[in-house]
Structure 1
């Protein structure tokens, strides 16, 4: 968790230069609310590092525009605008303001959102999108890889259950037993293992899997 502490400190340092004094307390409260949420922290860090309008501003809340397989399209809501960020465990991308209503066709298809014209109309009312909740309080979201209920975990997620033994997939020995190996030495080994998982039937995320605490885990151990 030391990484998260460093990230929070960096965000606080950025906020000193970005947030108007009268809103510093409220902005700090939001940071506390999402103190263990890696996706929210990533967006906060991105926003305060590169203020979209190059002027003082602050994030009041997050809204979920769309989400799929651990990838979330978040609207960072400020005092007079909402900005779109595509965020996952792989990183974050800025996609302009929600009021513009523009979203790349590839993203519209990926999230199965309406066509461009309909999305523009939808974007006019921010309240149509649900408020983003911190993963520790949202039972329908995996706290480690952000898969939603019914979705497959990201490979290497510490919460995923092994379909063969029922243990934690990243720690059990099934990967070695099924591949006939003592060590996973290459990307091809991981690809082969993932195919075996698919054939066996991966266990999708469900709220009852949620542990009291989960970090990112080490990924699939190769030895």
Structure 2
């Protein structure tokens, strides 16, 4: 569960070694306005890796697909692999050591863990999340400004109702169904392309989900 910056500051006071507390709070202050960073920071401090009392110093995006991202959490002496969507985050283990479960390998397009680890660059070469988003990338799916979101990104705006594409009812209405399987998802993607998907821009702030006739009115 995501914590507020104030709650995390208290966690830092009680869990981080004294000589790194200031660094931990400095990073928290820089990251507090970024929901993705706050989710990952919350996961780190509320579920600290075993025997760790180090400050979290950086969050680095590794790979994103369909609203799900892999991140590297950096401390003074460790790098942890974490996974997160727009609602929750989880630390998987040591970066370049921990194996991914089969379903995550499939999701991110790797045939096995050997292929995944071969594709993982040294943590020092990865960009910090703040630098990544400040260059005009979607904070969730990682596409650049002007590019189309990865399907499933919660930031993408619905071209029918101007609401949040992952939460509005338009996908069901356009397909005339109540549930969507993989085949229907591909059909919906075709409908999206035909309608005209809305590229990412830094000003995007999806409205409350509505219907394809327009946003629901109170």
Q: What TM-score, normalized to structure 2?
A: 0.71
Which range moves more in the overlay, 195-204 or 28-37? 195-204
Is it true that 1:168 corresponds to 2:162 in the alignment? yes
RMSD: 3.9
Is it true that 1:129 corresponds to 2:126 in the alignment? yes
Is it true that 1:218 corresponds to 2:208 in the alignment? yes
> CA 1:188 to 1:121, structure 2 compared with 1: closer, same or farther past 3 Å?
closer
| Contact preservation (8 Å) 1:71, 1:86 | yes
Q: Could you tell me how far apart the structure 1 residues matched to 2:197 and 2:60 are?
A: 25
1:27 equivalent among 24, 32, 45? 24
> CA 1:9 to 1:124, structure 2 compared with 1: closer, same or farther past 3 Å?
same
SS at match of 2:4: helix
| Contact preservation (8 Å) 2:163, 2:208 | no
Q: What TM-score, normalized to structure 1?
A: 0.70
Is it true that 1:85 corresponds to 2:78 in the alignment? no
Q: How many Å apart are 1:47 and its aligned residue? A: 0.8
> CA 1:113 to 1:129, structure 2 compared with 1: closer, same or farther past 3 Å?
farther
Q: Could you tell me how far apart the structure 2 residues matched to 1:63 and 1:7 are?
A: 21
Q: How many Å apart are 1:128 and its aligned residue? A: 4.2
Residue segments in structure 1 that go unaligned for 5+ positions in a row: 181-186
| Aligned length, in residue pairs | 202
Is it true that 1:150 corresponds to 2:148 in the alignment? yes
Residue segments in structure 2 that go unaligned for 5+ positions in a row: none
> CA 1:80 to 1:199, structure 2 compared with 1: closer, same or farther past 3 Å?
same
Q: How many Å apart are 1:155 and its aligned residue? A: 7.4
- Corresponding position of 2:94: 97
* CA deviations over 1:139-197 (Å, ceiling 9, x no partner): 121x5x5462332464764x5152x5xx73459xxx78x959xxxxxx939999x9667
Is it true that 1:12 corresponds to 2:2 in the alignment? no
